[in-house]
Structure 1
């Protein structure tokens, strides 16, 4: 992925106080608790005091070099908190509002204007380039710039955030539960509801049942007419949890032939819909091979740069398959997140069952627990600062 240089617009003003942040200074380096300065607030930005932040695999993929981002950096992209200050152009938010934070978008490119901000022309730069679109950064330490992430950097107890990332919610709602809707949960549920759209009697396969996979399983079981919802993973404990949340069948791919299992289960036809959360090329190939004629399959999980999937073109044409990417579940956060909140309030989308809470200083434990499958969805708490 291309690295972006910061422009001369950067300055080292400290006009908005300081923040306690989890800073990664070098690729693959540890998270360190540091005090950083918040620089100038742009007209289209807000300052948010974080209450809780979801922990996502993307945070770690972006600090270990799998997804290259410039360092030093403050990651975090599932923030939630209270608005402390608003820029002069911000009209839909005010000081004291409670917000959930999601992905950034420019709002002016073709995809944004067509209602597809997840595919914003500038989205990769705004999320992973470490800076604003003009090349400047909102943080510094000892006069040196610190890069941002997703234009929100919510691994900090106070942060400068692009207003586009913010979704206002009622102050009575629990931020330490709903923060996780900003990326992973929205991605899983959105991939089912906005991308795959299973029809009556459909078979759906979800490869990898972390939070993104489980969100899709819950959405498929509660909000679609699919009759077979199949979870694939290598962790029996996670597969059992997937059954509790709506999977009708489970497969441990360490022990079973996934393609044979799915074809046997579907009278030899294969699955109608599927998505992969792992980014593992073999899993993607299995997903394709186990899918039916005219199936719709999607890749969601990030993979190292240069990863390629091989397709037999004549077979692909003959099967009439649709293979697509799904970023953020093709969701518009300001529309989709309020719907997910309503589903949660109605008891139909129990995302609270996925959560394990950590003090922000326990970030490395949260990382290890996620890696070892001891946690589905970590949430960092900041309210003790």
Structure 2
């Protein structure tokens, strides 16, 4: 079918709004009419050529919409269902079968378009654009996903803002709620007040954490963090010694530190405030794939501390995305306060606003 998409023709170029032709769904595929799609840092890293995606390509991986058609092998979805699209996984490897699909043995192959010979879209000039980005390529009015990475959701909440629950929001909140699982009253420090960091704040509040410190250099983000439930916003642009500030917030040391900033300097300073048996959770992508992280070896050993990476919040999307939506409907998970809406054709403006910090989570709206 013919539709409109934001196409990336070459690395580091702005998105181009173009007409494309999508293949029809076959097998377990699902054709989704997109109502809203979030912009994630990973989309931009792929657009800029740092993650090995082929070009031309259609990116986008925080889509939400309505099922239009399904392939003959689909059993859990039907036309008209409201859905959120999540990362792809194969469902057959040992990690998928043990309830850890975000660590699928074929995660890279299924999500980062390493095989451009897979299903593709046809562009108006006759060339092909790679699809299958995170199993969806949802920077488009319609997206082709699979039954496995399409999550049915309730239809009494605003569908157009739900897309970020499929990646950025579940990454932050899920790292806390599914990965760290803090006991009520625990202390947690979150480095970075962007969409993922503020989602981690929401997860910490739901989990009942007692001390929730948020570290950022943008005052407006810290004000929102406090509104969402942070107890100790720390502004690095005016704080001379981050370690001292964190120790003052949690004199016995933090039980958890969650890095959502990808800044080695912040992590080094914050580790001074990690308590005994504390966990440093790595969430943010480093500025370069070969960047190394240095740790204070002996203190880390002596205090029984650990460092763990978390992908997509350790979530099982079919379980965790509806859970977040239920919490939102109860007024306990106000992720909508992170969202700024843009028209779909404003994608390049939305990207600029998100990169500048003017917007926390840009969501492109597709009018019906």
Coarse TM-score class (shorter-chain normalised): over 0.9
Within 1, Cα distance between the matches of 2:168 and 2:201? 13
1:279 matches 2:259 = no
Q: Deviations over 1:260-307 (max 9, x none)?
A: 11112222x321111111212222323333211110111111122111
- For residues 81-120 of structure 1, what are the structure 2 equivalents within 5 Å? 81-120=65-104
Q: Deviations over 1:5-61 (max 9, x none)?
A: xxxxxxxxxxxx112000011111110011111125330111111111112122112
- For residues 194-205 of structure 1, what are the structure 2 equivalents within 5 Å? 194-205=178-189
Within 1, Cα distance between the matches of 2:30 and 2:14? 28
* C-alpha contact 1:137 1:146 (8 A) present in aligned 2: no
Cα gap change, 1:130 to 1:155, in 2 (>3 Å): farther
Query: 1:131 Cα deviation (Å)?
Result: 4.5
Out of 360, 364, 368, which is 1:380 matched to?
A: 364
* C-alpha contact 2:259 2:267 (8 A) present in aligned 1: yes
Cα gap change, 1:357 to 1:130, in 2 (>3 Å): farther
2:8 maps to 24
* C-alpha contact 2:52 2:114 (8 A) present in aligned 1: no
1:140 matches 2:96 = no
Cα gap change, 1:287 to 1:90, in 2 (>3 Å): farther
Q: Deviations over 1:334-375 (max 9, x none)?
A: 000111111001011111211111011100111111111111
Out of 107, 132, 135, which is 1:123 matched to?
A: 107
Within 1, Cα distance between the matches of 2:183 and 2:228? 20
* C-alpha contact 1:85 1:95 (8 A) present in aligned 2: yes
Within 1, Cα distance between the matches of 2:79 and 2:12? 37
2:328 maps to 344
1:300 maps to 283
- For residues 220-235 of structure 1, what are the structure 2 equivalents within 5 Å? 220-221=204-205, 223-235=206-218
* C-alpha contact 1:210 1:376 (8 A) present in aligned 2: yes
Cα gap change, 1:180 to 1:379, in 2 (>3 Å): same
1:33 maps to 17
TM-score, length of structure 2 as denominator length:
0.95
Aligned partner of residue 164 in structure 1, secondary structure: coil
* C-alpha contact 2:253 2:274 (8 A) present in aligned 1: yes
Within 1, Cα distance between the matches of 2:261 and 2:25? 37
RMSD of aligned C-alpha atoms? 1.5
* C-alpha contact 2:36 2:162 (8 A) present in aligned 1: no
Within 2, Cα distance between the matches of 1:93 and 1:178? 18
Gaps of 5+ in 2: none
2:45 maps to 61
Within 2, Cα distance between the matches of 1:87 and 1:228? 48
Query: 1:240 Cα deviation (Å)?
Result: 0.8
Within 1, Cα distance between the matches of 2:293 and 2:49? 21
Out of 156, 174, 193, which is 1:172 matched to?
A: 156
Gaps of 5+ in 1: 1-16
Q: Deviations over 1:114-150 (max 9, x none)?
A: 0000111111221112548xx5123122443211211
Out of 363, 366, 374, which is 2:350 matched to?
A: 366
1:11 maps to none
Count of residue pairs the alignment pairs up: 364
1:335 matches 2:319 = yes
TM-score, length of structure 1 as denominator length:
0.91
* C-alpha contact 1:356 1:377 (8 A) present in aligned 2: yes
1:248 matches 2:231 = yes
1:238 maps to 221
- For residues 32-51 of structure 1, what are the structure 2 equivalents within 5 Å? 32-51=16-35
